[in-house]
Amino acid sequence: MTERQTTLETTVSIEGQGLHTGKMGKMTFCPAPANHGIKFKRVDLQGQPVIDAIIENVISTDRGTCIGTDGAKVHTIEHVMAAFRGMNIDNALIELNMEEIPIKDGSAKFFVAAIEKAGIKELNAEREYIEITENISIEIPEKKTKIEIRPSKRFSLNVTIDFESVVLGEQTAIMDDISEFKDKISPCRTFVFLHELEFLLKNNLIKGGDLNNAIVFVNHQLPQEEMDYLSDLFKKPRVKVNGNGILNNLSLYFDNEPARHKLLDMMGDLYLLGKPIKGHVTAYRPGHHANTEFARLISEKISVVTND
């Protein structure tokens, strides 16, 4: 059965704050024609430049994936890109009046909800896939990272993380089919270690962060006054550590939510190949740098096919 490319039925907007810049803004998902792909339009800049969401435009992977061309940038695109891939959207124009995607709760569920609100429309064009015909792998020894993709008739991922910590050791998340994304992957939030927060704040890296958009792990005991200081910085009530080493600011949706979020990140980064993939991905200790380098490697070796 022939699959058709898709776009949105109508426009839909999301407002929120950027995690690292702290700036408030609005993002609008707009319908786009066949073979348009996913593009970002910076409506706040002179000339309203458009940036293609493709691997060639990745300019930074420092705590998030950033794309840019000719001085125009969009930061932290991985969650929204995962939402478009997970909901099988091939074509959309994303208008943005800020340089960073709103963080919302640190997951992709708000973007999924927006896509559902806008509606999904089939277009009169066949969907093209990147079909993996041979095993492709990458290793980054200094980070103990290994990612491999093997031929498959569908897109699936098996992602393992290991932070070598008592509170966050080895975890694995599996998505056997893209249909599982909405319920099992999209709600999964980003995470951080408590000792990282002060450094990030002092380096102006999470101006828009609070204790509602991240799972916070505590891998060593801290005096309560230090935790109180951090909660004051976030303008939150005093916090404590639960028995599983997680701050009591929120509860986990899944025991392996961090691994599921890393799977979500990988989906978003791999969608920068510009088309959906048919292949089975196995990843050990992935991250944005490794994900995008792996995507570059795939782009050198792939063939694009229509779904017949």
pLDDT in tens, 52-64: 999 999 999 988 9
Tell me the pLDDT band of 146, cut-offs 50, 70 and 90. Answer: very high
Tens digits of residue pLDDT in 19-50: 777 789 999 999 999 999 999 999 999 999 99
Q: Which of 188, 197, 187, 190 is nearest to 218 (CA)?
A: 197
Instruction: Read off the pLDDT of each residue in 239-262 and give the average, rounded to a whole number.
Output: 86
Per-residue pLDDT tens over the stretch 226-250: 777 767 766 667 777 887 788 777 7
pLDDT of residue 223: 77
Q: Residue 13: what pLDDT?
A: 98
pLDDT at residue 156 tops 70: yes
Overall average pLDDT of the 245-273 stretch:
93
Domain ranges of the chain: 4-131+260-306
- Among candidate residues 75, 280, 288, 289, the one labeled active-site is 288
Lowest mean pLDDT among 3-17, 215-229, 254-268: 215-229
Q: What is the mean pLDDT of residues 273-283?
A: 97
- Assign a CATH topology to domain 4-131+260-306: Ribosomal Protein S5; domain 2 (3.30.230)
pTM of the model: 0.92
Residue 195 designated active-site: no
Residue range 294-302: mean pLDDT, rounded: 93
- CB contact set of 164 (below 8 Å; sequence gap of 6+): none
